[in-house]
Structure 1
Amino acid sequence: MERASLLQQLTTESERDGVQQLVVGAVVQNGGKVLLLQRPEDDFMGGIFELPSGKVEPDEALDMALIREIKEETGLDVAAIRDYLGSFDYMSGSGKKSRQFNFAVDVASPEPVEMQEHDAFAWTPINEELPVTDAVKDVLSKYRELPRA
Protein backbone atom coordinates (compact mmCIF):
# COMPACT_ATOMS: atom_id res chain seq x y z
CA MET A 1 0.00 0.00 0.00
CA GLU A 2 1.27 3.45 -0.88
CA ARG A 3 2.22 5.55 2.15
CA ALA A 4 -0.20 8.40 1.40
CA SER A 5 -3.16 6.04 1.21
CA LEU A 6 -2.01 4.21 4.38
CA LEU A 7 -1.79 7.50 6.28
CA GLN A 8 -5.26 8.52 5.06
CA GLN A 9 -6.66 5.13 6.05
CA LEU A 10 -5.18 5.44 9.55
CA THR A 11 -6.69 8.90 9.98
CA THR A 12 -10.09 7.77 8.69
CA GLU A 13 -10.15 4.73 11.00
CA SER A 14 -9.31 6.95 13.97
CA GLU A 15 -12.22 9.27 13.21
CA ARG A 16 -14.53 6.26 12.90
CA ASP A 17 -13.26 4.90 16.25
CA GLY A 18 -13.95 8.16 18.09
CA VAL A 19 -10.30 9.01 18.67
CA GLN A 20 -10.03 12.63 19.82
CA GLN A 21 -6.27 13.18 19.58
CA LEU A 22 -3.83 11.80 17.02
CA VAL A 23 -0.21 11.34 18.09
CA VAL A 24 2.85 10.23 16.10
CA GLY A 25 5.89 8.44 17.50
CA ALA A 26 9.21 7.35 16.05
CA VAL A 27 11.76 4.63 16.54
CA VAL A 28 15.04 6.44 15.90
CA GLN A 29 17.91 3.96 15.67
CA ASN A 30 21.66 4.43 15.61
CA GLY A 31 24.19 1.61 15.77
CA GLY A 32 21.81 -0.93 17.31
CA LYS A 33 20.47 1.55 19.87
CA VAL A 34 17.14 3.38 19.99
CA LEU A 35 16.53 6.90 21.22
CA LEU A 36 14.33 7.17 24.30
CA LEU A 37 13.23 10.40 25.97
CA GLN A 38 12.36 10.77 29.66
CA ARG A 39 9.20 12.71 30.48
CA PRO A 40 9.49 15.52 33.05
CA GLU A 41 8.66 14.35 36.58
CA ASP A 42 5.84 16.90 36.95
CA ASP A 43 4.19 15.95 33.61
CA PHE A 44 1.54 13.34 32.72
CA MET A 45 3.20 9.93 33.23
CA GLY A 46 6.21 11.78 34.64
CA GLY A 47 9.57 10.06 34.66
CA ILE A 48 8.83 7.32 32.14
CA PHE A 49 10.92 6.82 29.03
CA GLU A 50 9.12 7.01 25.71
CA LEU A 51 9.69 7.24 22.00
CA PRO A 52 10.03 10.72 20.54
CA SER A 53 6.38 11.57 19.91
CA GLY A 54 3.85 14.35 19.82
CA LYS A 55 0.39 15.54 18.86
CA VAL A 56 -0.79 15.93 15.29
CA GLU A 57 -2.12 19.44 14.67
CA PRO A 58 -5.58 19.94 13.09
CA ASP A 59 -5.46 19.31 9.30
CA GLU A 60 -1.81 18.15 9.53
CA ALA A 61 -0.80 14.96 7.72
CA LEU A 62 0.68 12.21 9.91
CA ASP A 63 4.02 12.18 8.06
CA MET A 64 4.43 15.96 8.31
CA ALA A 65 3.56 15.83 12.02
CA LEU A 66 6.16 13.10 12.53
CA ILE A 67 8.92 15.13 10.88
CA ARG A 68 7.93 18.25 12.85
CA GLU A 69 7.67 16.50 16.21
CA ILE A 70 11.05 14.73 15.87
CA LYS A 71 12.66 18.08 15.10
CA GLU A 72 10.88 19.83 17.99
CA GLU A 73 11.60 17.13 20.57
CA THR A 74 15.14 16.13 19.62
CA GLY A 75 16.55 18.67 17.16
CA LEU A 76 17.13 15.79 14.72
CA ASP A 77 16.15 15.93 11.04
CA VAL A 78 14.19 13.00 9.62
CA ALA A 79 15.85 11.75 6.43
CA ALA A 80 13.32 8.99 5.70
CA ILE A 81 10.17 7.45 7.14
CA ARG A 82 10.71 3.73 6.60
CA ASP A 83 8.08 1.50 8.18
CA TYR A 84 4.74 1.75 9.93
CA LEU A 85 4.98 -0.11 13.26
CA GLY A 86 1.37 -0.03 14.38
CA SER A 87 -0.57 2.05 16.86
CA PHE A 88 -1.86 2.00 20.40
CA ASP A 89 -4.64 3.86 22.18
CA TYR A 90 -4.50 5.58 25.55
CA MET A 91 -6.27 8.24 27.59
CA SER A 92 -4.33 11.52 27.61
CA GLY A 93 -3.69 13.58 30.72
CA SER A 94 -6.58 15.84 29.63
CA GLY A 95 -8.91 12.83 29.28
CA LYS A 96 -8.90 12.58 25.48
CA LYS A 97 -9.00 9.24 23.71
CA SER A 98 -5.65 9.30 21.91
CA ARG A 99 -4.08 7.05 19.30
CA GLN A 100 -0.32 7.00 18.73
CA PHE A 101 0.88 5.92 15.27
CA ASN A 102 4.47 4.66 15.31
CA PHE A 103 7.03 4.65 12.53
CA ALA A 104 10.65 3.63 12.03
CA VAL A 105 12.62 6.64 10.80
CA ASP A 106 16.13 7.40 9.66
CA VAL A 107 17.69 10.68 10.74
CA ALA A 108 20.28 12.69 8.83
CA SER A 109 22.61 12.57 11.85
CA PRO A 110 22.01 11.10 15.33
CA GLU A 111 23.81 13.97 17.07
CA PRO A 112 23.42 16.30 18.72
CA VAL A 113 20.17 15.47 20.50
CA GLU A 114 18.71 18.78 21.67
CA MET A 115 15.80 18.33 24.07
CA GLN A 116 13.10 20.95 24.54
CA GLU A 117 10.37 19.07 26.40
CA HIS A 118 12.06 16.18 28.24
CA ASP A 119 14.37 15.77 31.24
CA ALA A 120 16.82 13.29 29.70
CA PHE A 121 17.51 11.06 26.73
CA ALA A 122 19.24 7.73 26.30
CA TRP A 123 20.50 5.70 23.37
CA THR A 124 19.50 2.26 24.63
CA PRO A 125 20.53 -1.08 23.05
CA ILE A 126 17.52 -2.40 21.13
CA ASN A 127 18.09 -5.95 22.39
CA GLU A 128 17.99 -5.02 26.09
CA GLU A 129 14.90 -4.88 28.28
CA LEU A 130 13.88 -1.26 27.84
CA PRO A 131 12.36 0.97 30.56
CA VAL A 132 9.17 1.76 28.64
CA THR A 133 5.44 1.02 28.79
CA ASP A 134 4.08 -2.29 27.50
CA ALA A 135 2.60 -0.47 24.48
CA VAL A 136 6.03 0.88 23.51
CA LYS A 137 7.58 -2.55 24.13
CA ASP A 138 5.15 -3.94 21.54
CA VAL A 139 6.20 -1.26 19.02
CA LEU A 140 9.87 -2.03 19.60
CA SER A 141 9.18 -5.75 19.22
CA LYS A 142 7.67 -5.07 15.78
CA TYR A 143 10.69 -2.94 14.96
CA ARG A 144 13.08 -5.78 15.88
CA GLU A 145 11.23 -8.08 13.47
CA LEU A 146 11.82 -5.81 10.44
CA PRO A 147 14.24 -7.10 7.82
CA ARG A 148 17.48 -5.13 7.93
CA ALA A 149 18.76 -3.67 4.68
Structure 2
Amino acid sequence: MTVASAEFLAGLVSEAKRDGITSFVAAAIVTDADRVLLVRRKPDDFMGGMWEIPSGKVEEGETVLLALHRETAEETCLIIDSVHSYVGHFDYPNSRGGTTRQFNFAVTVEKTEPVILTEHDAHQWALPNDLPEVSDAVRGLIARRDR
Protein backbone atom coordinates (compact mmCIF):
# COMPACT_ATOMS: atom_id res chain seq x y z
CA MET A 1 0.00 0.00 0.00
CA THR A 2 1.46 3.37 -0.99
CA VAL A 3 1.71 6.28 1.41
CA ALA A 4 -0.59 8.35 -0.80
CA SER A 5 -3.30 5.72 -1.19
CA ALA A 6 -6.80 6.59 -0.07
CA GLU A 7 -6.86 3.44 2.08
CA PHE A 8 -3.65 4.32 3.93
CA LEU A 9 -4.73 7.92 4.56
CA ALA A 10 -8.22 6.89 5.69
CA GLY A 11 -6.57 4.48 8.14
CA LEU A 12 -4.54 7.31 9.67
CA VAL A 13 -7.67 9.38 10.22
CA SER A 14 -9.66 6.41 11.57
CA GLU A 15 -6.94 5.60 14.08
CA ALA A 16 -6.80 9.24 15.20
CA LYS A 17 -10.57 9.37 15.65
CA ARG A 18 -10.43 6.16 17.73
CA ASP A 19 -7.86 7.98 19.89
CA GLY A 20 -10.34 10.83 20.43
CA ILE A 21 -8.59 13.29 18.10
CA THR A 22 -10.90 15.54 16.11
CA SER A 23 -8.51 18.13 14.63
CA PHE A 24 -5.92 17.17 12.02
CA VAL A 25 -2.91 18.87 10.46
CA ALA A 26 -0.87 17.77 7.43
CA ALA A 27 2.83 18.67 7.41
CA ALA A 28 5.62 18.51 4.82
CA ILE A 29 9.25 17.74 5.52
CA VAL A 30 10.69 19.52 2.47
CA THR A 31 14.33 18.80 1.71
CA ASP A 32 16.97 20.30 -0.55
CA ALA A 33 20.02 18.01 -0.56
CA ASP A 34 20.80 17.57 3.16
CA ARG A 35 18.86 20.62 4.30
CA VAL A 36 15.29 20.83 5.63
CA LEU A 37 12.93 23.77 5.14
CA LEU A 38 11.82 25.40 8.37
CA VAL A 39 9.40 28.30 8.80
CA ARG A 40 9.03 30.50 11.89
CA ARG A 41 5.68 31.33 13.46
CA LYS A 42 4.94 35.04 13.81
CA PRO A 43 5.51 36.34 17.37
CA ASP A 44 1.79 37.01 17.98
CA ASP A 45 0.65 33.55 16.74
CA PHE A 46 -0.06 30.48 18.85
CA MET A 47 3.44 29.18 19.78
CA GLY A 48 4.91 32.39 18.33
CA GLY A 49 8.60 32.39 17.42
CA MET A 50 8.80 28.59 17.15
CA TRP A 51 10.39 27.09 14.05
CA GLU A 52 8.40 24.30 12.38
CA ILE A 53 7.90 22.46 9.14
CA PRO A 54 5.21 23.77 6.75
CA SER A 55 1.86 22.50 7.97
CA GLY A 56 -1.78 23.33 8.17
CA LYS A 57 -5.27 22.23 9.10
CA VAL A 58 -7.09 19.52 7.19
CA GLU A 59 -10.37 21.22 6.30
CA GLU A 60 -13.79 19.55 6.53
CA GLY A 61 -14.29 17.23 3.53
CA GLU A 62 -10.61 17.41 2.54
CA THR A 63 -8.21 14.47 2.51
CA VAL A 64 -4.91 14.59 4.39
CA LEU A 65 -3.05 14.44 1.06
CA LEU A 66 -4.98 17.34 -0.43
CA ALA A 67 -4.34 19.39 2.71
CA LEU A 68 -0.62 18.55 2.52
CA HIS A 69 -0.38 19.89 -1.03
CA ARG A 70 -2.63 22.90 -0.41
CA GLU A 71 -1.02 24.01 2.84
CA THR A 72 2.54 23.65 1.53
CA ALA A 73 1.64 25.80 -1.48
CA GLU A 74 -0.29 28.34 0.61
CA GLU A 75 2.43 28.78 3.25
CA THR A 76 5.56 28.67 1.07
CA CYS A 77 4.41 28.95 -2.57
CA LEU A 78 6.30 25.67 -3.19
CA ILE A 79 4.58 22.91 -5.18
CA ILE A 80 4.97 19.32 -3.98
CA ASP A 81 6.34 17.09 -6.74
CA SER A 82 6.18 13.80 -4.84
CA VAL A 83 5.35 12.37 -1.44
CA HIS A 84 8.06 9.87 -0.47
CA SER A 85 7.01 8.53 2.88
CA TYR A 86 4.87 8.91 5.94
CA VAL A 87 7.26 9.87 8.74
CA GLY A 88 4.80 9.58 11.62
CA HIS A 89 2.54 11.74 13.73
CA PHE A 90 2.49 13.61 17.00
CA ASP A 91 -0.30 15.11 19.06
CA TYR A 92 -0.35 18.53 20.70
CA PRO A 93 -2.83 20.74 22.55
CA ASN A 94 -4.39 23.27 20.22
CA SER A 95 -5.51 26.84 20.84
CA ARG A 96 -9.17 25.72 21.16
CA GLY A 97 -8.51 23.48 24.16
CA GLY A 98 -8.56 20.20 22.23
CA THR A 99 -5.88 17.95 20.81
CA THR A 100 -4.56 18.08 17.26
CA ARG A 101 -2.79 15.23 15.47
CA GLN A 102 -0.14 16.27 12.97
CA PHE A 103 0.50 13.79 10.13
CA ASN A 104 4.02 14.28 8.68
CA PHE A 105 5.26 13.36 5.22
CA ALA A 106 8.68 13.53 3.53
CA VAL A 107 8.26 15.33 0.20
CA THR A 108 10.17 16.86 -2.66
CA VAL A 109 9.07 20.05 -4.36
CA GLU A 110 9.23 21.10 -8.01
CA LYS A 111 11.61 24.00 -7.19
CA THR A 112 13.12 24.92 -3.81
CA GLU A 113 13.22 28.66 -4.52
CA PRO A 114 11.74 31.12 -4.18
CA VAL A 115 10.13 30.45 -0.81
CA ILE A 116 7.39 33.05 -0.44
CA LEU A 117 5.90 33.15 3.05
CA THR A 118 2.26 34.03 3.67
CA GLU A 119 1.76 33.00 7.31
CA HIS A 120 5.27 33.01 8.83
CA ASP A 121 7.87 35.72 9.37
CA ALA A 122 11.04 33.84 8.31
CA HIS A 123 12.31 30.66 6.70
CA GLN A 124 15.61 28.83 6.54
CA TRP A 125 17.12 25.72 5.04
CA ALA A 126 18.69 24.01 8.06
CA LEU A 127 21.01 21.05 8.41
CA PRO A 128 19.51 18.32 10.62
CA ASN A 129 22.41 18.61 13.09
CA ASP A 130 22.15 22.43 13.29
CA LEU A 131 18.46 23.19 13.89
CA PRO A 132 17.09 26.40 15.41
CA GLU A 133 14.47 26.31 18.18
CA VAL A 134 12.09 23.53 17.10
CA SER A 135 9.93 21.26 19.21
CA ASP A 136 11.29 17.89 20.27
CA ALA A 137 8.63 16.29 18.06
CA VAL A 138 9.84 18.14 14.94
CA ARG A 139 13.48 17.41 15.83
CA GLY A 140 12.61 13.69 16.01
CA LEU A 141 10.77 13.77 12.66
CA ILE A 142 13.72 15.37 10.91
CA ALA A 143 16.10 12.80 12.40
CA ARG A 144 14.05 9.88 11.10
CA ARG A 145 12.77 11.26 7.78
CA ASP A 146 15.10 9.10 5.67
CA ARG A 147 14.89 5.87 7.65
| TM above 0.5 | yes
* Equivalent residues in 2 for 1:15-26, closer than 5 Å: 15-26=17-28
2:128–2:143 Cα contact (<8 Å) kept? no
Quote the Cα distance in structure 2 between the aligned partners of 1:130 and 1:63: 27
Instruction: Give the CA deviation at 1:130.
Output: 4.2
2:135 is equivalent to residue 133 of structure 1 = yes
Instruction: Give the CA deviation at 1:138.
Output: 1.2
Aligned residues: 145
Quote the Cα distance in structure 2 between the aligned partners of 1:68 and 1:129: 26
Q: 1:18-60: CA deviations, max 9, x gaps?
A: 1121001111000211000000001110001000000000111
TM-score for both structures, normalised by structure 1:
0.93
Structure 2 equivalent of residue 9 of structure 1: 11
1:130–1:137 Cα contact (<8 Å) kept? no
Instruction: Give the CA deviation at 1:126.
Output: 2.2
Percent of residue pairs bearing the same amino acid type? 43
State the SS of the aligned residue for 1:6.
helix
Q: In structure 1, give the amino acid aligned to 2:66.
A: M
Quote the Cα distance in structure 1 between the aligned partners of 2:75 and 2:141: 19
Quote the Cα distance in structure 2 between the aligned partners of 1:42 and 1:10: 31
Q: 1:89 aligns with which of 84, 88, 91?
A: 91
* Equivalent residues in 2 for 1:48-127, closer than 5 Å: 48-127=50-129
CA RMSD after TM alignment: 1.1
1:88–1:99 Cα contact (<8 Å) kept? yes
1:75–1:113 Cα contact (<8 Å) kept? yes
Instruction: Give the CA deviation at 1:15.
Output: 1.2
* Structure 1 runs not aligned, ≥5 long: none
1:78–1:108 Cα contact (<8 Å) kept? yes
Quote the Cα distance in structure 2 between the aligned partners of 1:25 and 1:67: 9
Q: In structure 2, give the amino acid aligned to 1:10.
A: L
Instruction: Give the CA deviation at 1:85.
Output: 0.3
* Structure 2 runs not aligned, ≥5 long: none
Change over 3 Å in CA distance of 1:92–1:18 after alignment to 2: same
TM-score for both structures, normalised by structure 2:
0.94
Quote the Cα distance in structure 2 between the aligned partners of 1:61 and 1:140: 24
